[in-house]
């Protein structure tokens, strides 16, 4: 059946009985959840969320794969990614130096849209499944080429327990400790 | 002590706004520091407790999105415009992509269309629950706030699994979507749908049928059928006034024409009716989600990328798509040129009809992009409907039309 508009009406209320009944119903629900609450609070940093692999988090460069096409820098909607020119040893002719461009990222601007990862024609960029990393100063958020190749340390992993949220039929989101650990 | 006319004239010449204040009225300012769901201000004139005049002072979060778009490539506009309504990002960006597809003469595959509809409905529920929570805390019912935000998390989590991020999905690209759903996604969606269905009666008991709430909402902010048409309000505000209008119904986009669902309409036109519209819409969105996920599961082998596009893709792109369902972009798409022309597209976002006008002069950026957002059209309600109410009804009216300031200001 195709979509259609249906006129509905608000339940007519009135009278003492109806008022008392609705009040009591509301109170029963309130008391029910007061005694048996549904909680999904995560006690960060004692616990931390383990995202699924497809999560669009921090971005890491695989320098040896990069072909310096600059597609990532061109597609970046917030101009967070820029190309830098470096001179390095040419792997084919070790005696020679060559000039090559690589992307670097500024996490002050990055919006984690993932366009750069998707546009890379050689899959030289990949997402990490988290983005709770802190930097001491704003300047540190400009990653240099060396830092951009390293997976950033997630401080919470040292002290916390990884948890995942699962959708449950009766409880909504349920927090579970991730199986397997590590 | 009064200021002389000469001083006033001097002030006026310096560009200072000077106006006479009626002595018998009390003027108060509500906002602009986030009175509800964003920065906006009300200048309310009170006679005792009765609102005589309400002036919504909008524009605090105006970000010149239309102008900014003129300096961005086509693909980069999606992350920009979805920042209008971050909580409803999927619905808000879809018409832009639809308009772009009209210009480029491209059609998404049926599977991509169903994925779009699925995410749109998840987003609509999350957006309604958000509005519901804000509304609850406005009128002092903090349980509704906690419940709304807690249950919204279920749909935000689902969206995260589908798109890779909680709110700013950037999911649509011209001719499709950026990801296929994971293998175990249908079960999760079905569990979430069953959970939310079992939850709706509880919402009704604790909030909508609760006599305390009914007393606050009933016959408050009444917009009659004629008045609603005259003011040009949209979305749940319009349907709460008894007008049977929904873009999904009037001009079905994507696959909405093939899906079996109802558009709930309530006749009363008061705050309670508008709240009921949203609650009934959540129920219908759950139906749509179920139908969409059923279709997606039955047609697992159908591709997200249309066949003729898929054949042209490089080998690596095909490999990534087969392995992880990720649709990679082509570097040529960054500076793609769109044929010159004009296109309009509209869609039904959580708060009402969103409209885009896109004009291309054949370049890599739009010549003009015009956005008309539902909140901008609903803001008139404050000016026209509030006078005559008591001050305590202001949060009720504000919450019941689910006004979202960043969306109106864009």
Structural domains of chain A ordered from first start: 59-150 (3.30.70.3270)
- Give CA–CA dist B239/B405, Å, rounded: 21
Of all residues in chain A, the one with the smallest CA distance to B274 is A10
CB-based contact, A111 to chain B, within 8 Å: yes
Of all residues in chain B, the one with the smallest CA distance to A17 is B211
Kindly state the average pLDDT of the residues A65-78.
90
Is residue B257 within 8 Å of B113, Cβ to Cβ?
Answer: no
Going by C-beta distance under 8 Å and a sequence separation of 6 or more, which residues neighbour residue B248? Answer: A3, B256, B263, B347, B348
Instruction: Name the strand (E) or helix (H) holding B265.
Output: strand B262-266
| Nearest Cα residue to B372 out of B349, B390, B394 | B349
Q: Is the pLDDT of residue A151 over 90?
A: no
Q: Which residues of B touch A121 (CB under 8 A)?
A: 314, 316, 330-331
B65-391: CATH class: mainly alpha
- The tens digit of pLDDT for each residue in B199-217 reads 898 888 888 888 888 888 8
A vs B: CB pairs below 8 A: 175
Q: Which stretches of A15-140 are DSSP H helices? A: 15-35, 71-75, 115-119
Tokens standing for residue A100: 């090559």
Q: Which residues of A touch B331 (CB under 8 A)?
A: 69, 71, 74-75, 119, 121
In order along its 410 residues, chain B shows pLDDT tens digits of 567 778 888 888 888 877 776 678 888 888 777 767 678 888 888 888 888 888 888 888 888 889 999 988 898 999 999 888 888 889 999 999 999 999 988 888 888 999 999 999 999 999 999 988 888 888 888 888 888 888 998 999 899 998 988 888 989 988 888 888 888 889 989 999 999 999 898 888 888 888 888 888 888 888 989 988 888 899 899 998 888 888 888 888 888 888 888 889 998 888 889 999 999 999 999 999 999 999 988 888 888 888 888 888 888 888 888 888 888 888 888 888 889 999 999 999 888 899 999 999 988 999 999 999 998 888 888 888 888 888 888 888 888 888 888 888 88
Tokens standing for residue B384: 């026209």
* Beta carbons of A77 and B79 less than 8 Å apart: yes
Phi, psi angle pair for A176, to nearest 5°: -130, 145
- Give CA–CA dist A122/A67, Å, rounded: 8
- Give CA–CA dist B97/A159, Å, rounded: 44
State residue B123's pLDDT score. Answer: 92
CB-based contact, A113 to chain B, within 8 Å: yes
Residue whose token pair is 């999760």: B188
- Give CA–CA dist B340/B363, Å, rounded: 8
Angle, CA B379 vertex, CA B373 and CA B382 arms, to 5°: 170
* Beta carbons of B161 and A25 less than 8 Å apart: no
Q: Is the pLDDT of residue A180 over 60?
A: no
Of all residues in chain B, the one with the smallest CA distance to A164 is B157
Q: Is the pLDDT of residue A155 over 80?
A: yes
State residue B22's pLDDT score. Answer: 67
Domain ranges of chain B: 65-391
State residue B129's pLDDT score. Answer: 92
State residue B358's pLDDT score. Answer: 92
Going by C-beta distance under 8 Å and a sequence separation of 6 or more, which residues neighbour residue B152? Answer: B125, B126, B129, B130, B133
Which of A6, A11, A171 faces B265 most closely, judged by CB atoms? A6
* Beta carbons of A169 and B154 less than 8 Å apart: no
Q: Tell which wins on pLDDT, B31 or A35.
A: A35
State residue B340's pLDDT score. Answer: 92
- The tens digit of pLDDT for each residue in A100-135 reads 889 999 988 999 988 999 999 998 999 988 888 888
* Beta carbons of A167 and B326 less than 8 Å apart: no
Residue whose token pair is 């616990």: A47
Q: Which A residues in the span 138-177 are in contact with B, Cβ-Cβ below 8 Å? A: 165, 167-173
- Give CA–CA dist B74/B76, Å, rounded: 6
Q: Which A residues in the span 30-49 are in contact with B, Cβ-Cβ below 8 Å? A: 30, 38, 40
* Beta carbons of B206 and A78 less than 8 Å apart: no
Of all residues in chain A, the one with the smallest CA distance to B321 is A118
Q: Which stretches of chain A are DSSP H helices? A: 15-35, 71-75, 115-119, 145-149, 156-159
Output the pTM of the full model. 0.88
Q: What is the DSSP string of B184-219?
A: THHHHHHHHHHHHHHHHHHHIIIIIS-HHHHHHHTT
Of all residues in chain B, the one with the smallest CA distance to A75 is B334
Phi, psi angle pair for A174, to nearest 5°: -120, 130
State residue B370's pLDDT score. Answer: 92
Question: What's the ipTM?
Answer: 0.86
- B179 forms beta bridges with B326
Q: Give A108 to chain B, closest Cα distance, Å.
A: 16
State residue A168's pLDDT score. Answer: 85
| Nearest Cα residue to B407 out of B47, B140, B40 | B40
* Cβ neighbours around B379 below 10 Å, total: 19
At residue A182 the predicted structure's pLDDT band, cuts being 50, 70 and 90, is very low
State residue B383's pLDDT score. Answer: 86
Q: Which residues of A touch B150 (CB under 8 A)?
A: 38, 40, 172-173
Helix (H, G, I), strand (E, B) or coil at B29: strand
Tokens standing for residue A21: 């009944």
Going by C-beta distance under 8 Å and a sequence separation of 6 or more, which residues neighbour residue A182? Answer: none
Q: Give A58 to chain B, closest Cα distance, Å.
A: 12
Is residue A121 within 8 Å of B331, Cβ to Cβ?
Answer: yes
* Cβ neighbours around B275 below 10 Å, total: 28
């Amino acid at each position: 059946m195709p979509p259609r508009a249906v006129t509905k009406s608000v339940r007519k209320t009135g009278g003492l009985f109806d008022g008392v009944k609705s009040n009591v119903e509301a109170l029963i629900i309130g008391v029910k959840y007061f005694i048996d609450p549904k909680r999904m609070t995560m006690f960060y940093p004692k616990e931390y969320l383990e995202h699924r692999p497809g999560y669009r988090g921090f971005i890491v460069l695989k320098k040896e794969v990069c072909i310096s096409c600059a597609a990532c820098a061109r597609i970046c909607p917030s101009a967070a990614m820029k190309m830098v020119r470096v001179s390095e040893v040419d792997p084919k002719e070790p005696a020679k130096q060559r000039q090559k461009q690589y992307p670097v990222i500024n996490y002050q601007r990055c919006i984690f849209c993932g366009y750069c990862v998707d546009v890379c024609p050689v899959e030289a960029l990949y997402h990490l499944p988290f983005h709770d990393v802190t930097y001491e100063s704003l300047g540190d958020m400009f990653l240099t080429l060396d830092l951009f190749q390293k997976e950033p340390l997630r401080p919470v992993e040292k002290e916390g327990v990884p948890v995942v949220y699962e959708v449950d039929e009766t409880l909504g989101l349920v927090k579970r400790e991730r199986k397997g650990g590590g | 002590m009064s200021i002389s006319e000469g001083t006033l004239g001097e002030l006026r010449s310096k560009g200072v706004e000077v106006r006479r204040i009626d002595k018998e009225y009390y003027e108060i300012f509500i906002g602009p520091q986030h009175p509800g769901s964003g920065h906006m201000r009300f200048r309310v004139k009170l006679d005792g407790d009765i609102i005589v005049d309400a002036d919504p002072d909008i524009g605090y979060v105006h970000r010149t999105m239309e102008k900014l778009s003129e300096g961005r490539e086509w693909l980069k506009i999606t992350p920009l415009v979805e920042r209008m309504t971050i909580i409803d990002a999927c619905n808000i960006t879809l018409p832009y992509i639809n308009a772009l597809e009209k210009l480029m003469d491209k059609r998404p595959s049926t599977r991509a269309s169903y994925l779009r509809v699925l995410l749109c409905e998840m987003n609509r529920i999350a957006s309604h629950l958000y509005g519901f929570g804000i509304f609850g805390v406005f009128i002092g019912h903090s349980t509704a706030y906690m419940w709304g935000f807690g249950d919204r998390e279920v749909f935000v989590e689902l969206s995260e699994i589908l798109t890779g991020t909680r709110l700013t999905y950037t999911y649509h690209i011209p001719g499709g979507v950026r990801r296929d759903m994971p293998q175990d996604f249908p079960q999760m969606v079905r569990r979430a749908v069953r959970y939310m269905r079992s939850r709706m009666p509880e919402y009704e008991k604790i909030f909508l049928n609760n006599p305390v709430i009914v007393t606050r909402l009933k016959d408050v902010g009444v917009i009659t059928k004629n008045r609603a048409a005259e003011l040009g309000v949209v979305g749940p505000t319009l349907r709460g006034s008894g007008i049977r209008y929904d873009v999904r119904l009037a001009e079905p986009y994507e696959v909405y024409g093939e899906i079996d669902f109802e558009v709930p309409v309530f006749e009363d036109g008061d705050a309670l009716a508008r709240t009921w519209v949203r609650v009934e819409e959540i129920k219908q969105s759950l139906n749509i989600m179920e139908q969409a996920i059923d279709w997606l599961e039955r047609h697992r082998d159908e591709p997200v990328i249309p066949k003729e596009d898929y054949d042209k893709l490089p080998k690596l792109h095909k490999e990534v798509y087969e392995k992880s369902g990720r649709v990679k972009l082509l570097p040529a798409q960054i500076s793609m040129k769109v044929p010159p022309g004009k296109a309009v597209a509209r869609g039904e976002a959580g708060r009402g009809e969103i409209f885009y006008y896109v004009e291309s002069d054949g370049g890599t950026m739009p010549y003009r992009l015009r956005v008309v957002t539902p909140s901008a059209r609903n803001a008139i309600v404050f000016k026209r409907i509030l006078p005559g109410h008591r001050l305590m009804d202001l949060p009720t009216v504000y919450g019941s039309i689910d006004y979202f300031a960043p969306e109106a200001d864009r």
